[in-house]
Amino acid sequence: MNHHLIKKYNVAGPRYTSYPTVPYWNDKPITVKEWSKSVKKTFDETNVHDGISLYIHLPFCESLCTYCGCNTRITINHAVEKKYIAAVLKEWDMYLAMFVDKPRIKEIHLGGGTPTFFSPENLKVLIDGIMDKSVACKDAEFSFEAHPNNTTEEHLKMLYSLGFRRLSLGIQDFDPKVQTIVNRIQPFEIVDKVVKQARKIGYTSINFDLVYGLPLQTRKSVIDTINKVNVLRPDRIAFYSYAHVPWVKPGQRLFTEKDLPQDDEKRALYEIGKEKFSEMGYAEIGMDHFALNSDTLYKAANEGKLHRNFMGYTHSYTKLMVGLGVSSISDTWNAFAQNVKKVEEYYECIKNNELPIFRGHVLNKEDLIIRRHILNIMCKFETSWEKDEEQCKAVNDAVKRLTEIEGDKLIVTKPYHLSIRKPGRPFIRNVCMAFDAKLWRNLPQSQIFSSTV
Ligand SMILES: C[S@@+](CC[C@H](N)C(=O)[O-])C[C@H]1O[C@@H](n2cnc3c(N)ncnc32)[C@H](O)[C@@H]1O
């Protein structure tokens, strides 16, 4: 890896799970009328053929993992479960009222927080409540995020009986020192047990979330972690770059910046991981995912069908994604809306029969063009455009901004086409930033994004 390039391109930048990125959504909040109109339109256009996806945010966790950048509520009071599920089902009813037909569900993803904080019985109430008024597509995919420490065999059996076939285990790191400093102790034996139980029950895809750049990680500790991963052979691995955003997540101040591997060292951890995953038979997918060639993510990447949304890379995609629960983001392709982040505010909206959205963005023509290019770059490492003027304006500006990156031999441009060279892949977020017209029109005055490398 070229140290000079890392120094040069390691700047603060978005992870591009959406375009426009959330800080650049319109200042004026989206109105319920605008949002409902967009939901209805996309539903009418796509439900019959493609179906719709649901993301359900279950925010509760029993303890705080100090590195965590997600929207969580820490509590050991499990009495919160029933009230929360009732609120989510009521929010779902508000969406059902916008639909002319029964929704055809293509995907459900339970994210968190910790979905396995909830009891198996309460998760059944939630999924039955959703599915009672919907139809599952033939090729529907249900998945959930699981914390190995509280995922019981009963959880696995119950969710399997409800149609779930994929689970994503939050591993992060197996090293005891790293686990201690991030306040997430989970011995290998526990993970091993959950993986064996899941396979025995019949789950067909197991993902491990790992993070590089965590405090106290070293090259050796990352190698040890990956050797342990290799014993369990998950189908997929997400190898996330640690996003350090202590101004949003004060929990990240519980360790110091001196404990974090920086720049070259952080990138070296990714490169070590990448090399090891390749030796283990995993292919690199997109920016930070790896998959065995038997996994659908691998097949999708090979067929050019990879997609990226707020949860990262996915192999299936519907234009309409309804996000339920606190902080969830919904997407109609033409507009985004996000729910309020605090549980109490969420309950208040639901009690008043109001959609709990507090901000959003209706995409204009330029946004839609740029959204497509950023998605192509993130998922296919290339993009191309038509000769028409409007396309060219957005792209020409980007290509001009990319002169230096091209000079560094990280990308190749030719008329109406751009592709990322292999050495350019670590800098994919920098390439996307060149397209980000909204960012260039209004460069942030303070740091709002994590580092790109
Ligand atoms: C919302 S968490 C849910 C995981 C689940 N609650 C658990 O504890 O196993 C989803 C994933 O986001 C990733 N993540 C959380 N905070 C992060 C951060 N600051 N930087 C990078 N990745 C992060 C972790 O890999 C985590 O497994």
d(CA 320, CA 42): 6
- Give 157-198 as a DSSP string: HHHHHTTEEEEEEEEE---HHHHHHTT----HHHHHHHHHHH
- Of residues 83, 82, 65, the one with CA closest to residue 74: 65
Does the pLDDT at position 241 exceed 80? yes
Exposure string for 218-250, b = 16+ CB within 10 A, e = fewer: eeebbeebbeebeebebbbbbbbbbbbeeeebe
User: How far apart, in Å, do the first and last CA atoms of the chain sit?
Assistant: 12
Q: How would residue 452 be classed by pLDDT, with cut points 50, 70 and 90? A: low
- Percent of the chain scoring above 90 in pLDDT: 73
**Distance from the alpha carbon of residue 88 to the mean position of ligand 1, in angstroms:** 22
**Distance from the alpha carbon of residue 158 to the mean position of ligand 1, in angstroms:** 24
Beta carbons of 368 and 361 less than 8 angstroms apart: no
Q: Is 70 in the pocket of ligand 1 (CB under 6 A)?
A: yes
Return the best residue to mutate from 55, 73, 145, 207 for the ligand 1 pocket (most ligand atoms within 8 A of CB): 145
Does the pLDDT at position 299 exceed 80? yes
**Distance from the alpha carbon of residue 310 to the mean position of ligand 1, in angstroms:** 13
Q: Is 270 in the pocket of ligand 1 (CB under 6 A)?
A: no
CATH of domain 24-345+350-360: 3.80.30.20
Can you tell me which atom of ligand 1 is nearest the CA of 114?
Answer: 6
Tell me what pLDDT residue 173 has.
97
pTM higher than 0.85 for the full model? yes
Quote the DSSP letter at residue 422.
G
Q: Which residue has tokens 């740029």?
A: 370
Domain ranges of the chain: 1-20+364-453, 24-345+350-360
**Distance from the alpha carbon of residue 70 to the mean position of ligand 1, in angstroms:** 7
Return the best residue to mutate from 149, 209, 288 for the ligand 1 pocket (most ligand atoms within 8 A of CB): 209
Pairing of strands 236-241, 205-212: parallel
Q: Is 67 in the pocket of ligand 1 (CB under 6 A)?
A: yes
Q: How would residue 125 be classed by pLDDT, with cut points 50, 70 and 90? A: very high
Mean pLDDT over 424-434 rounds to 89
**Helices 389-401 and 365-380, packing angle to 10 deg:** 50
Phi, psi angle pair for 250, to nearest 5°: -60, -20
List, in sequence order, every beta strand (DSSP E) within 257-375: 283-285, 289-291, 307-309, 312-314, 321-324, 329-331, 335-339, 357-362
The second-level CATH assignment, the architecture, of 1-20+364-453 is Orthogonal Bundle (1.10)
Q: How would residue 20 be classed by pLDDT, with cut points 50, 70 and 90? A: very high
Q: Is 251 in the pocket of ligand 1 (CB under 6 A)?
A: no
Return the best residue to mutate from 214, 240, 313, 452 for the ligand 1 pocket (most ligand atoms within 8 A of CB): 240
Does the pLDDT at position 392 exceed 90? no
Q: What are the tens digits of pLDDT across the range 204-224?
A: 999 999 999 999 999 999 999
Minimum CA distance residue for ligand 1 atom 4:
170
Q: What are the tens digits of pLDDT across the range 255-279?
A: 888 999 988 899 899 999 999 999 9
Environment class of 28 (CB within 10 Å of its CB; exposed 0-12, middle 13-18, buried 19+): exposed
Q: Do domains 1-20+364-453 and 24-345+350-360 have the same CATH topology?
A: no
Tell me what pLDDT residue 446 has.
63
Q: Is 243 in the pocket of ligand 1 (CB under 6 A)?
A: yes
Tell me what pLDDT residue 216 has.
96
Mean pLDDT over 331-359 rounds to 97
Q: How would residue 316 be classed by pLDDT, with cut points 50, 70 and 90? A: confident
Minimum CA distance residue for ligand 1 atom 3:
112
Tell me what pLDDT residue 15 has.
81
Tell me what pLDDT residue 432 has.
93
Q: Is 255 in the pocket of ligand 1 (CB under 6 A)?
A: no
d(CA 189, CA 210): 17
Q: Is 310 in the pocket of ligand 1 (CB under 6 A)?
A: no
Beta carbons of 126 and 89 less than 8 angstroms apart: yes
Minimum CA distance residue for ligand 1 atom 6:
114
Does the pLDDT at position 55 exceed 70? yes
**Distance from the alpha carbon of residue 197 to the mean position of ligand 1, in angstroms:** 22
Q: How would residue 448 be classed by pLDDT, with cut points 50, 70 and 90? A: low
* Dihedral angle, C-alpha 420, 424, 426, 432, nearest 10 °: -50
Can you tell me which atom of ligand 1 is nearest the CA of 184?
Answer: 8
Does the pLDDT at position 84 exceed 70? yes
**Strand arrangement of the beta sheet that strand 329-331 belongs to:** 283-285, 289-291, 236-241, 205-212, 164-172, 135-146, 104-112, 52-58, 321-324, 329-331, 335-339, 357-362
Q: Is 170 in the pocket of ligand 1 (CB under 6 A)?
A: yes
Can you tell me which atom of ligand 1 is nearest the CA of 252?
Answer: 19
Tell me what pLDDT residue 445 has.
65
